[in-house]
Amino acid sequence: MRSLFFLAFLAISQQICAEGSASSAQMSTQTAIPPAFKEPFSGEALIQLVIGLLVVVVIIFVLSWVVKRFSGISPLTKNMRVVGVLPLSAREKAVLVKVGQQHLLLGVAPGRVSRLHAFEAGDIEESSDKKADSFSHRLADVMKQRRASEHKAGGEDE
């Protein structure tokens, strides 16, 4: 990608140099060339400025689209999605992520992500109405189920 930018810069600079040498040759044959515009804030100068800025912005958008489109990097989120987020404090949150068929509960803090719990395949049911069921309710239900199953397993041992 850098070589493409370098080649474009080289081609533009060669064209500018060629125009500069041609204009210097014309200056030697002619006595005086009037400037393109005399006043820096004239209507013509402002139109040239606006058009130039628009061209630069369009070039930036086109190049960013080309880089995204043809970079050859496939999206990594194909089998991964965020099921829900629960803010714990101003800078920390719990995030429930589904990776394949497994659900992971992650603790996210500035500069650090840690796995808090990995749920089994059947622990969390997928609801069809995701907006009605908030993350906090879903997490509370799963934790209640887990406590109940641990309590039953603990009661059988006694």
pLDDT tens by residue, 22-52: 555 555 555 566 665 566 677 888 899 999 9
Residue ranges in the chain modelled with pLDDT below 70: 1-7, 10-11, 13, 17-40, 72-77, 122, 126-133, 154-158
Rounded Cα distance, 23 and 25, in Å: 5
User: DSSP class of residue 123?
Assistant: T
* Residue 147, CA atoms < 13 Å, CB-side half-sphere: 6
Query: Are residue 49 and residue 89 in the same domain, yes or no?
Result: no
Per the structure, the complete domain to which residue 35 belongs is given by 2-70
**Contact call for residues 106 and 97 (beta carbons, < 8 A):** yes
- Pick from 42, 70, 98: which residue ends a domain? 70
- Indicate the number of domains in the chain: 2
